[in-house]
A and B are shown apart, each in its own frame.
Chain A
Amino acid sequence: MLARLRAAVLLAWPSLALVGLVAIPFLLLVRISLAPPDPNGLWSAGISLAAYRGLMDRSFAAALLYSLGLAILVAAVGVCVGFPLTFFITRMRRGWQVLWLVFLLATLTLSDVLIAFSWQVMLSKRIGFANLLVTLGLMEQAASLTPSFGAVLGNLIYLVLPFTVLTLYPTLSQLAPELLEAAKTLGASPLVAFRTVIVPLTKRAAAVSFLISAVLTLGAYVAPVVLGRPRNWTMAVLIGNAALAGHNVPRASAMSVCLLIAALLLTGGTSWLARRRGSR
């Protein structure tokens, strides 16, 4: 009894904070997505499906599919590059490992605003990159490489890469080197060893890393705005515009709910795939 009381006192503040600042705001979002918009304020009282009805058109569906596709692409590239990178890092000597980890964490310390800005600088007409392409004969004359879809894609991959490494690191670091040795001794080629030893052991971590990258991309607002053209804008940008420029909070909330459902479907699909592969 006393232990229970102690636990209750201990958890009072965390419960208050998490229920008050996560659970209630979350339910409020769903509620407001069902409120009628108010052109003079934020929303008005009552229940209406107007916000959702406003989303029943082709352009919204196209934007949602585009955002999902982009998220899957970015996350797939992130995992495909991050996996070998993490594997190599875990096989390095300790000093090098720490150096790489601090370096990766340092890129994380830059706000996506600052990273988008530095990409804009890097891809501008005056600075190295375009001139490098000219020197290599890949470009006729130096020109600005933004705004473009390529810049958005590259920037998003840049943003997710540290996250993929950090989520894969624990699993790959604990992968005993003896396992690979044993596979080699038993005559497995590196490819077979990868498929039969490494993949089953790291599949879960790879799925988590894929999901984190995909969700991060779904929520990314700054990169498409700064580096892309309006047709490269993702759902995140459209949601931001609905709330800030359109002053239609119920619409932005309804769009957020749709984006959340898309994220949930992606999560469900990924974990289903990861499990199905496991049963074979």
Chain B
Amino acid sequence: MSLSRLTRALLGAFSALALVFVYAPLALVLLNSFNTSRTFAWPPTGLTTRWWSAAASSNGARSAIVVSLEVAIIATLIALLLGTMAALALQRFSFFGRDTVSLLIILPIALPGVVTGIALANAFLTIFGIRLGFFTLVVSHATFCMVTVFNNAMARLRRLGGNLEEASMDLGAGTFTTFRLITLPMLRSALLAGCLLSFALSFDEIIVTTFTAGSGIQTLPIWIYQNLFRPNQAPVVNVVAAALIVASIVPVWFAQKLAGTDESVAAAR
């Protein structure tokens, strides 16, 4: 099939247009954070940095960022530990129902977040009788973060096969030495990618969070959501949103560095 010149040009134009569609809303948020109008009237009549300094001194936003960071870090660490172990177990040993288990892994990604949220909240409240709070929030985040770590590790393990490890064992290395010198270095970039993804997911997750955080805990997305509909908070919310857009360049840059060795950063969600 040779696409005609016209088709190629049309495809290119369409793609360019689609990219404009993708980036325009983000650019708008950035621009509005400097908009003098409180109601973001378009086109902007003037530019100001007033909202940025107002946001910098907003206590609510600042403490919400701290909570979000804590949750994301702890959840990622738990997910790293358990996700890696699960992947190793599933890859190395064949046991009854292994294929079913692999299908089950898809389930948490294939089911809507609202289901995960209410299922976990229900388990905490009615089955275990735990009050919702920081602990339940971290456990919930770790549950879906684990899936991303697991997926990344699993993809890498499947590609590597077990030959190098067998060679290491044949040369007299114990299980632990083999893990330390062979398996871990080969997995490192995949695990790093998984962690990066987990952290990002946890940091801006809101659906599961609203169900499992209880009323006392405010992560950054919850803070944004609660202030979204308050007109007098609008400029500050917009600045926080703009800052988050700028901050999202950091993981992209990281992922690009990792992508040299690992494509799965992109593929996994």
Q: Do A and B come from the same complex?
A: no
Residues on A lying within 8 angstroms of B by beta carbon are none
